[in-house]
Structure 1
Amino acid sequence: MTGLVALTGATGFIGRHLLRDLTARGYRVRVLLRRPVAVPEGAASAVVGDLTRPINMAAALADVDAVVHSAGLAHAMSGAPEDDYRTLNAEATRTLARAAERARVRRFVFLSSIRAQTGATAPGIVTETDPARPTDAYGRSKREAEAALAETGLDWAALRPVLVYGPGAKGNVAALLRLARTPYPLPLGALTARRSLISLESLSAAVDAVLGAPGPLRRPLIAADPDPLTLPEMVAALRAGLGRRPGLVPVPGALLGLACRLTGREALFSRVAGGLVAQSDGLDALGWRPAMTTREGLERLARTP
């Protein structure tokens, strides 16, 4: 499919990349902005409007073939009240979806999260057939947004990406990059839990695959690169991109966990040491292929100024 796509969140980490990539793939992109700013480069047009107080959605969605909804309150805002997550993630999605249905939009692509399905870690491989069990306010708001889409007559898909990395990433990815850039050996070599990641490029390819897929879809789809890595492997890939050796020391996980508990970093250790491996079976069936391996992507990220 190529046509007019309405994109929300075009000034965010994921949205900025989607705007560039979708434009490069031949789509015309109309960005939906919360406040009047300069039209982002690459956008065919822009409409100003607040998704929580929609005034001009009919005009915003006129002649639109598909909506890509990437706006919302990010997981990094961990101190936000649950009501804020519900308003900015679930209710705003419900409002936009109803407007899209009235405008007879062909497909609605929602950027959800793996946290709509599971917690920060998972004991086995997470698949789309597993029941959704979000464990925090962010995940619950994303799951509620998916449920709102299911109540409409739209043909929709909710992409559930795992941790997304790329230039400009914040949170855990930024912390990992800072750690890899330090000149010191790191006591992480014995950690064995694997975690799935996905690059911005692979996520954009997933959005393109969903936009062009024969319908109807009307379901969530996990988005994850197929090669989960351990934390030591991630650090080694980043340092390889910097032209450096891994510099990893195999300190036993139990000892490392004790040190983190004594220094008040137990929650951080549980996220780092725990695994979360997910499979993108639905996207694979649509012909999606990741843009690069996770190792290649992390090496490239480390080289990015």
Structure 2
Amino acid sequence: MTAPKVLVTGARGFVGEALVFRLLLDKKISPVAAVRGPTRLQGLCQVVAFDLADAQSLPDLSNVSVVVHAAARVHVMNETANDALAEFRKVNVEGTLRLARHAAVSGVRRFIYISSIKVNGERTALGHPFKAQDVPAPLDPYGLSKHEAEEALKELSASTGMEVVIIRPPLVYGPGVKANFLSLLRWMQRGVPLPLGAINNRRSLVAIGNLIDLIVVCIDHPAASGNTFLVSDGEDLSTTQLLRRLGAALGTKACLLSVPAWLLNLVITVSGKRAIVSRLCDSLQVDISKNNEILGWTPPVKVDRAMRQTAGHFLER
């Protein structure tokens, strides 16, 4: 019997590539990697060219039963576009809907959309996590574009019958992570003193292994259809706890200065870096109980193990 085909967009990216490798290991599904350039997946599975931003670029979906759409114009800290929302819409909304319509016409059974927790909002009150059924409250252009894409996919599902599943991850980390998390690893390894020893917030993160595991479950679980899922490691950490546990994973002691959160907030806000304050001091928690209730899913990878894997890869490289 031929293994069902699953096309993964953004297969050169952090999430997409990890998903393809997981599917190759499982051997129950035949992954098709949709990429915008050279990839180390070449020769390991079927690879097709795909550029989400190009209106003329549509992948061959012959015999593909599920599309996992991880490609996107991602959130950036220093946006340079004159109209950022228009740029995000062009790729994340119009490009996504163009692909989804192509999938529906091609007979794809299920479309899994990797969205963002930013659809829910930017922060939560301590102890009051976001839930999948909350009214969306995106605040920045990236979050708005992700929300608009979700709504467009739901409408397409209603008119075509193609099943849609939405997954909203918070910050994703793991071996090979880049951006802010990589900067944290570098600072910790170098012993840079950080004024983050007294932050009593709570933030949900998700290890790449846990996110990929949920996606794999959603590929064929009948109850996933039509649902939106939030995802995390199931253990929320303060910024201070995160850094201490990262230090332990790296084999070093975190050099943290106990600067009161209100003072840190004041200093950074005055410097015009409010977004940095939010990531360091605010809480952002998610409730993943729905995943267990509907899918029987709980995160298989514990936080400390995920951090050791992340730190080990960083030290090797």
TM-score normalised according to structure 1 size: 0.91
Alpha-carbon distance in 2 for matches of 1:216, 1:194: 28
Per the alignment, residue 29 of structure 1 pairs with: 31
Match of 1:273 among 281, 287, 290: 281
For 1:110, what is the secondary structure of its paired residue?
Answer: strand
Per the alignment, residue 205 of structure 2 pairs with: 197
In the alignment, structure 1 residue 122 sits paired with structure 2 residue 124: yes
* Alpha-carbon distance change, 65 to 78 in structure 1, aligned in 2, over 3 angstroms: farther
Per the alignment, residue 261 of structure 2 pairs with: 253
| Aligned residues of 2:52 and 2:71 also touching (Cα < 8 A) | no
In structure 1, what residue type is equivalent to 2:31?
A: V
| Aligned residues of 2:114 and 2:168 also touching (Cα < 8 A) | yes
* Alpha-carbon distance change, 193 to 216 in structure 1, aligned in 2, over 3 angstroms: closer
In the alignment, structure 1 residue 158 sits paired with structure 2 residue 166: yes
Deviations 1:170-214 (A, max 9, x none): 232123222322324433121100100001111110101101211
* Alpha-carbon distance change, 183 to 38 in structure 1, aligned in 2, over 3 angstroms: closer
In the alignment, structure 1 residue 104 sits paired with structure 2 residue 124: no
Stretches of 4+ aligned residues off by more than 3 angstroms: 49-57, 261-267
Shift of 1:22: 1.6
Shift of 1:34: 3.1
Structure 1 window deviating more from structure 2 (145-154 vs 177-186): it is 177-186
* Alpha-carbon distance change, 223 to 258 in structure 1, aligned in 2, over 3 angstroms: same
In structure 2, stretches of 5+ residues that fail to align are none
| Aligned residues of 1:114 and 1:222 also touching (Cα < 8 A) | yes
In structure 1, what residue type is equivalent to 2:141?
A: A
In the alignment, structure 1 residue 300 sits paired with structure 2 residue 312: no
Match of 1:134 among 129, 138, 142: 138
In structure 1, stretches of 5+ residues that fail to align are none
| Aligned residues of 1:23 and 1:42 also touching (Cα < 8 A) | no
Deviations 1:13-65 (A, max 9, x none): 21111111121122211122335x457246431222433445574x7101001
Match of 1:232 among 227, 240, 259: 240
Shift of 1:243: 1.4
Match of 2:86 among 83, 86, 103: 83
For 1:229, what is the secondary structure of its paired residue?
Answer: coil
Match of 1:223 among 215, 231, 238: 231
Structure 1 window deviating more from structure 2 (274-283 vs 293-302): it is 293-302
Shift of 1:259: 3.1
Alpha-carbon distance in 2 for matches of 1:225, 1:190: 23
* Percent pairwise identity: 33
Alpha-carbon distance in 1 for matches of 2:291, 2:35: 29
| Aligned residues of 1:197 and 1:294 also touching (Cα < 8 A) | no
Alpha-carbon distance in 2 for matches of 1:258, 1:38: 44
In structure 2, what residue type is equivalent to 1:23?
A: L
In the alignment, structure 1 residue 282 sits paired with structure 2 residue 290: yes
| Aligned residues of 2:188 and 2:255 also touching (Cα < 8 A) | no
Alpha-carbon distance in 1 for matches of 2:35, 2:133: 35
In structure 2, what residue type is equivalent to 1:297?
A: A
Alpha-carbon distance in 2 for matches of 1:184, 1:172: 15
| Aligned residues of 1:236 and 1:245 also touching (Cα < 8 A) | yes
The number of equivalent residue pairs is 302
Structure 1 window deviating more from structure 2 (259-268 vs 153-162): it is 259-268
* Alpha-carbon distance change, 262 to 199 in structure 1, aligned in 2, over 3 angstroms: same
* Alpha-carbon distance change, 157 to 250 in structure 1, aligned in 2, over 3 angstroms: same
Match of 1:207 among 212, 215, 218: 215
Alpha-carbon distance in 1 for matches of 2:9, 2:223: 22
Alpha-carbon distance in 2 for matches of 1:41, 1:288: 32
TM-score normalised according to structure 2 size: 0.88
For 1:201, what is the secondary structure of its paired residue?
Answer: helix
* Alpha-carbon distance change, 78 to 113 in structure 1, aligned in 2, over 3 angstroms: farther
Alpha-carbon distance in 2 for matches of 1:215, 1:227: 25
